[in-house]
Amino acid sequence: MSYISEVIEQTKLRNPGQPQFMQTVEEVLGSIAPAVEQNEKKLRKNVILERLVEPDRQIIFRVPWMDDNGVYHVNTGYRVQFNNAIGPYKGGLRFQKDVNLDTMKFLAFEQTFKNSLTSLPMGGGKGGSDFDPTGKSDDEIMRFCQSFMNELYRHIGPNMDVPAGDMGVGGREIGYLFGQYKKIVGDYENGVLTGKGLSYGGSLIRPEATGFGATYFLDEVLKHEGQTIEGKTFCLSGFGNVAWGASKKIDELGGKVVTLSGPDGFIYDPDGVTGEKIDYLLEMRASNRNRVQDYSDKFGCDFVAGKKPWGNVKADIYMPCARQNEILLEDAKAMVAMGVPILNEVSNMPTTNEALAYLQAHGVLVTPSKAVNAGGVATSGLEMSQNSERLSWQAEEVDRQLKNIMKGIHNQICDALDTYGLPYNPVAGANLAGFKKVADAMLAQGIY
């Protein structure tokens, strides 16, 4: 049995009931074979793959909180500190009702490679809770965040672990989390969290960064294929921060976004998501209603209940911006049947491994989310630099650096593929490039 297969088998045995984590382990390890084969003896001796798939630590804690009626509730909080070979643990916090340890581990594992691709010194971590923000009042959100931080604070710090937002955690939540951290620790260490408000150490462009970065990355991919964003139509899923930033940048570059989605269904706006419609997405997110139908109610376009855009609307590019496993095998088949040539993955692990294999076998160009959405965490890295220098950069400066980073990620992917003589396949290239840097740092630092 090959070294990779051995490690996959061991990992399965040690992580029963964690399908999402196994999915990403199989996806990553499955594409780094050329790198592993070249250095197998050294990697085996240093148990690199075995250490790579085992988190440094997994913290699970109780989060009690009181609702507006004075009734107490208890949720579970998590922080998985996966790998800090190249920098302090870094990654978002997700508040969503179906969050569990499996979700946290798959996200923290992906984050390790994603952060490595940014070329900034950040390790991989992820956290969150099964708390459901839908329908919660501002006060309830504040009390939940405070209670969550009452435990989290002892595990994080500007040089130790730097959380940020993810689904269900935006600027408002980061504000409450930071307020409580400061209160407990008694120090103004605002480098402990990123995605902060501008008035207390946040970075310009951070809210837009994931969507902007995803569009910049796609632009590099299209350039490689001799194409441009201008004139292309896009089906997006989601309507949160990521879909908002992407819609803004796609619109600016002359593309047209025609769908968005939510847990309730999807909207189809053939005139394009532009201008005030893009701004309205922010209101929809802030309302905590978690309904995309609000968009069609306001702007009078079609709403299709209970469905996803995939296979229902034809476009030049599909861009899932909502959540994991939203492109299943049946969606992949519908996409191929409809002749959609490009899947730009934005949300973390949106495509199941069987759907990915089907798409690639049928000539669809798939880009890897760990590269595409890395602009968010990269800009968090820039926020950390600004905090430690005690200054703030102009929006143009942050945007320029973000663009360079995304271009750099695409270059690294191409270089990694060239090194192993492989054809253009950004999914494999991202895994190879991310793995190389993390493995080199782990080798240099010895076994611990």
Shorter beta-carbon distance to ligand GLU: residue 255 or 376: 376
Supply φ then ψ for residue 206, to 5 degrees: -60, -45
- In the complex, least distance from residue 117 CB atom to ligand GLU, rounded to whole angstroms: 11
Strands of the 161-164 sheet, one edge to the other: 57-66, 72-83, 123-129, 89-95, 161-164
Shorter beta-carbon distance to ligand GLU: residue 262 or 376: 376
- In the complex, least distance from residue 93 CB atom to ligand GLU, rounded to whole angstroms: 8
Give the integer Cα–Cα distance in Å for 286 and 77. Answer: 23
- In the complex, least distance from residue 244 CB atom to ligand GLU, rounded to whole angstroms: 14
Shorter beta-carbon distance to ligand GLU: residue 36 or 209: 209
Give the integer Cα–Cα distance in Å for 420 and 320. Answer: 29
- In the complex, least distance from residue 241 CB atom to ligand GLU, rounded to whole angstroms: 9
**Interacting residue ranges for ligand GLU, rule: CB under 6 A:** 90-92, 164, 166, 194, 373, 376-377, 380
- In the complex, least distance from residue 92 CB atom to ligand GLU, rounded to whole angstroms: 3
Residue 74 pairs in a beta bridge with 64
- In the complex, least distance from residue 304 CB atom to ligand GLU, rounded to whole angstroms: 28
**Residue, CB closest to ligand GLU:** 92
Q: Scanning the structure block, which residue is given the tokens 């569990």? A: 100
Q: How many CB atoms lie within 10 A of CB 141?
A: 20
- Total residues belonging to the chain: 448
Sign of the CA dihedral running 88, 142, 188, 198 = positive
Q: Scanning the structure block, which residue is given the tokens 């496993």? A: 325
Shorter beta-carbon distance to ligand GLU: residue 255 or 320: 320
Of 126, 196, 249, 277, catalytic: 126
Residue 126 a catalytic site member: yes
CA atoms within 13 A on the CB side of 391: 6
- List the catalytic residues: 126
